[in-house]
Amino acid sequence: MIEEQGQVVAVEDGYAWIQTARQSACSHCQAGTSCGTSVLSRWFGRRQPRIRVPNALDLAVGQRAVIGIDDQVLVKASLIAYLMPLLGMIGFALLAVQWGLAEGAVALMSLGGLAAGLWLMARLGRGGRHGAYQVRLLRAMPETHGTTHIEFN
């Protein structure tokens, strides 16, 4: 199980919006500011991700909680997200070559296959069997009154 801590920033219709802190290894990497990931991070800023989860623990705004997703679910979702469009693109391109179409038609068919793969990915990724691919609310974090927050660099 992959777990992440966050804070409830909104509650609506039986769901809680959990905001997590974005983790980045850019400050610890030897490449420093010359890396592409670091450049993209500076361009697009460091938004705090928000995740909508069923509020099974009846959390209130301001409470901290732990959310998580099963490792196997994450692997399966990743395969769907990356392989479906790729297989669609390659499959349609091979089909166009098999039919003896010109290069331009092969390129258009491969784009059509990519679109079909993206469509299929979206259909499969919409929660599967009753939200099988959704992040779950695991537990509430205990209140910490009067403690000091220490940041490690």
What are the tens digits of pLDDT across the range 34-56? 666 666 666 666 667 888 889 98
Sheet order of strands, 50-54 included: 50-54, 15-20, 2-12, 64-69, 136-140
Backbone angles phi, psi at 93, to 5 degrees: -65, -45
- Where b means 16+ CB within 10 Å and e means fewer, 30-49 reads eeeeeeeebeeeeeeeeeee
* Residue whose entry in the numeric block shows the structure tokens 């009846």: 58
- What is the average pLDDT across 106-115? 96
* Residue whose entry in the numeric block shows the structure tokens 């099963």: 70
Provide the phi-psi class of 79: left if phi over 0, else alpha when psi is between -120 and 50, else beta.
alpha
Q: pLDDT tens across 128-153, in order? A: 555 667 788 889 888 765 554 544 44
- What is the average pLDDT across 13-33? 72
Strands 50-54 and 136-140, bridge-based pairing? unpaired
Specify the pLDDT at position 145: 58
Q: What torsion, rounded to 10 degrees, do the Cα atoms 151, 74, 90, 109 define?
A: -90
Q: Under a CB-based contact definition with an 8 Å cutoff, are residues 89 and 121 in contact?
A: no
Q: Under a CB-based contact definition with an 8 Å cutoff, are residues 135 and 69 in contact?
A: yes
pTM: 0.60
Q: Under a CB-based contact definition with an 8 Å cutoff, are residues 24 and 33 in contact?
A: no
What does the alpha-carbon distance between residue 128 and residue 131 come to, in Å, rounded to a whole number? 6
